[in-house]
Amino acid sequence: MMTTTTKEDILIEALPYIQRYEGKTFVIKYGGAAMTDLDLQESFAKDVTLLKKIGINIIIVHGGGKAITDLSGKLGLETRFHNGHRYTDSETLSSVVMTLVGTTNKDIVRLINRNGGSAVGLSGMDGGLLRARKFLFNGIDLGFVGEVESVNTKFIELLLSNGSIPVIAPVGVGADGEMYNINADLAAASIASALNAEKLFYMTDTEGILIDGELIPTLTSDKAKQYIAAGTIAGGMVPKVQTSFDAIEKGVKKVHIINGTALHSILLEIFTNVGVGTQIIKSEKPAQPIPRVREKKEDFLDFSELTRQGLYELFHLADKLRKELELRPLAGKSISLIFQKPSLRTRISFEVGIAQLGGIPIVLNNETIGLGVRESAHDVAKVLSRYNDAIIARVFDHSLLTDLASNASVPVVNALSDLLHPCQILADVYTLYEQNLLRPGMKIVFIGDGNNVANSWIEFAGIFPMHFVLAAPEGFEPDPSIMQKAIAAGISTIEILRNPVEAARNADVLYTDVWTSMGQEEEKSKRIAAFEGFTISEDLLQIASPECVVMHCLPAHRGEEITDEAITGVQSVIFEQAENRLHIQKALLCSLFGADEGLQLRRFPADATTEYEKTTTTIPA
């Protein structure tokens, strides 16, 4: 049975790909055993329906060679091939049309629709979808065999905009009205090229491209040409690979040759980091090397070294990394993750992020190393610096972090301490930026305990101008030294109020955290009593700005610091915050390593007003 952790890993790994490909166009050439095995047919129908449901435009071009051969045999027709192309006389053409257009096409449509899709069956003749001309293979006349001259993309785009999945039989029509049988691989490539498709898939009866019996996960055009010239790629795979080259040259981003005899092979190829087949690309981006070793290692324990300029550069880097998942700027780097406290978002976001960047995450729980008990922070820092390229730590006592940073020769990142949680706030402000809500002068209202998250918000107010209000009962104030430093910066208004209703008035953001954090369980009843009336609810939202968003760093104690309705309501961006831990932390790691300098980033002058700041509100000190 699949464990919960495994399911979480799968979903988290798939999420960036789902976001990346929403609205993109995939063309799938469907053929081979996948069309004849009942289980594979069902799997394929479910896969393409799912892809369409999550916002990917799907176009299917199908073959049907075996069915054509079977029908031709029953009709007493001779079947002839020349280099993989079927010789098609007038009688064979009738067999092709009857099979592809009349039977196979409708079976595929019926199966997809039965599984919840909205498929529309077509042939290349419908609406002038595929304008064809006679195809001569090396000067040899193959009868009524054609090649695509043009594609009616407007017709296809109309169907896609209506939520349909076009299922296309590769029979085209010439300028003189003559019908032509078109090789399904060539038809799929022509359609993908005309639409500048993101991906073109060829479903075959092999794993992909095999070299000396080994699957090649990624193959560049130049390397594939070398293999063909050497005879390493041979037989029926040659025209498929050559067709892939042509499609890429004409605008298709990637071509995938995958095993159609494996269940859900399309989903595995699209939504996993490893994939299951061979992808053919124009040229492979090399792993981005670290361009130089910095003279002084940089830690990230708090916001003391962060500037507004640096903040915008992190945003830009996060945007780039979430779109270009093939970049591997941390290739060859290993990073230790120390967890004194249990973790979901922090652990998964860092572990997945490091792996996506090409690095190796090494997770160490408290039982493994006994930080500060079994071994001192000094010794742990010295040892891990010799094994790893960075240390990320989630600890109780903030002094353990400062001890690690003082003694490590590699960057140390604060993934949470009892004093500060800067990675969470980076994700929060990145979420506001992503929602076009981050602007100078905005009112951030934190309702709850003056804990590590509140401290980091106050620290952030020392570098970004805002009106920050903490609504908390007496005895639950933030760290006074952090307050004093932020106030001394003189760019934000910072208040502590005792009345959450007064605090929430005209708020742009209502933010909360649990009232009882890990390690404070004995104080739970006392804290619940003290925070009575401090729950973020629909009533409190009515007092805030109409555009106010609700934020929570999670985990949440529903019904205590926040109601179910506030968490799941339209004003909530809570789960966007959780996702953005992944993206902004990837950018942070690249920045600490100096890898950002090899990624062609935009630099923001320190005194420049950027497009991220739409207003110039002045905040009184």
| pLDDT 10s digits, 584-620 | 999 999 999 876 655 655 555 554 444 444 333 333 3
H or E element that contains 590: helix 574-593
On whether both 456 and 417 belong to a single domain, the answer is no
Greater confidence (294 vs 543) lies with 543
pLDDT-based confidence at 9, cuts 50/70/90?
A: low
Task: Tell me the CA distances in angstroms from 21 to 195, 198, 253, 490, 591, one per residue in order.
Answer: 15, 8, 12, 44, 26
Q: Is residue 445 scored above 70 in pLDDT?
A: yes
Catalytic residue among 424, 439, 467, 596: 424
Whether 339 maps to a domain, the answer reads yes
pLDDT for 250-274, tens place per residue?
989 889 999 888 888 888 888 876 5
Contact 389, 593 (CB under 8 A): yes
- What was the pLDDT predicted at 49? 94
Catalytic residue among 86, 256, 345, 421: 421
Catalytic residue among 308, 394, 527, 583: 394
Concerning whether 548 is annotated as a catalytic residue, the answer is no
On whether both 402 and 450 belong to a single domain, the answer is no
Q: Exposed, middle or buried by CB within 10 Å (0-12, 13-18, 19+), for 466?
A: buried
Amino acid at 367: E
What average pLDDT does this structure show over 226-238?
83
pLDDT for 322-369, tens place per residue?
988 888 899 889 999 999 998 999 999 999 999 999 999 999 998 889
pLDDT-based confidence at 280, cuts 50/70/90?
A: confident
Whether 103 maps to a domain, the answer reads yes
- What was the pLDDT predicted at 281? 83
Catalytic residue among 131, 288, 345, 553: 553
Greater confidence (6 vs 535) lies with 535
- What was the pLDDT predicted at 500? 97
CA distance 317 to 315: 5
On whether both 271 and 383 belong to a single domain, the answer is no
User: Alpha-carbon Rg of the chain, whole angstroms?
Assistant: 30
Q: What is the CATH number of the domain that holds 199?
A: 3.40.1160.10
pLDDT-based confidence at 286, cuts 50/70/90?
A: very low
pLDDT-based confidence at 427, cuts 50/70/90?
A: very high
Which segment, 43-47, 201-205, 284-288, 469-473, is predicted with the most confidence on average?
A: 469-473
On whether both 77 and 120 belong to a single domain, the answer is yes
Q: What is the separation of C-alpha 267 from the centre of its chain, rounded to a whole number of angstroms?
A: 14
Letter string b/e over residues 91-107, b meaning 16 or more CB atoms within 10 A of that residue's CB: ebbbbbbebbbeebbeb
Number of domains in the chain: 3
Q: What is the CATH number of the domain that holds 390?
A: 3.40.50.1370
On whether both 496 and 555 belong to a single domain, the answer is yes
What average pLDDT does this structure show over 27-55?
90
Mean pLDDT of the chain: 87
What average pLDDT does this structure show over 509-520?
92
Whether 606 maps to a domain, the answer reads no
Whether 157 maps to a domain, the answer reads yes
Concerning whether 439 is annotated as a catalytic residue, the answer is no
CA distance 597 to 604: 13
What average pLDDT does this structure show over 451-458?
98
Whether 426 maps to a domain, the answer reads no
What average pLDDT does this structure show over 24-39?
89
- What was the pLDDT predicted at 275? 65
Q: How many residues comprise the chain?
A: 621
Alpha helices by DSSP H, listed for 461-562, are 480-489, 500-504, 524-530, 538-543
Q: Is residue 308 scored above 60 in pLDDT?
A: yes
For the chain, what is the total number of helices (H) and then of strands (E)? Answer: 23, 25
Phi, psi of 612 (to 5 degrees): -75, -20
Contact 238, 183 (CB under 8 A): no
Which segment, 70-84, 278-292, 540-554, is predicted with the most confidence on average?
A: 540-554
Q: Is residue 291 scored above 70 in pLDDT?
A: no
Q: Which of 281, 301, 329 is the last residue of a domain?
A: 281
On whether both 568 and 587 belong to a single domain, the answer is no
- What was the pLDDT predicted at 64? 80
Catalytic residue among 302, 418, 513, 596: 513
What average pLDDT does this structure show over 408-429?
97
On whether both 397 and 442 belong to a single domain, the answer is no
Whether 3 maps to a domain, the answer reads no
pLDDT for 167-217, tens place per residue?
999 999 998 889 999 989 999 999 999 999 999 999 988 888 888 788 888
Q: How many percent of the chain have pLDDT more than 70?
A: 89
Print the domain residue range for 186. Answer: 24-281
On whether both 554 and 501 belong to a single domain, the answer is yes
pLDDT for 375-408, tens place per residue?
999 999 999 999 999 999 999 999 999 999 999 9
- What was the pLDDT predicted at 36? 83
Concerning whether 581 is annotated as a catalytic residue, the answer is yes
Concerning whether 294 is annotated as a catalytic residue, the answer is no
- What was the pLDDT predicted at 18? 79
Tokens representing residue 145 in the block = 């065999």
Catalytic residue among 256, 467, 581, 583: 581
On whether both 243 and 335 belong to a single domain, the answer is no
On whether both 388 and 517 belong to a single domain, the answer is no
On whether both 415 and 468 belong to a single domain, the answer is no
What average pLDDT does this structure show over 569-594?
95
Q: Which of 223, 257, 281 is the last residue of a domain?
A: 281
- What was the pLDDT predicted at 3? 39
Q: Is residue 287 scored above 50 in pLDDT?
A: no
- What was the pLDDT predicted at 236? 75
What average pLDDT does this structure show over 89-117?
89
Whether 529 maps to a domain, the answer reads yes
Whether 47 maps to a domain, the answer reads yes
Tokens representing residue 263 in the block = 């269940």
Greater confidence (3 vs 526) lies with 526
pLDDT for 455-501, tens place per residue?
999 999 999 999 999 999 999 999 999 999 999 999 999 999 999 99
On whether both 391 and 321 belong to a single domain, the answer is yes
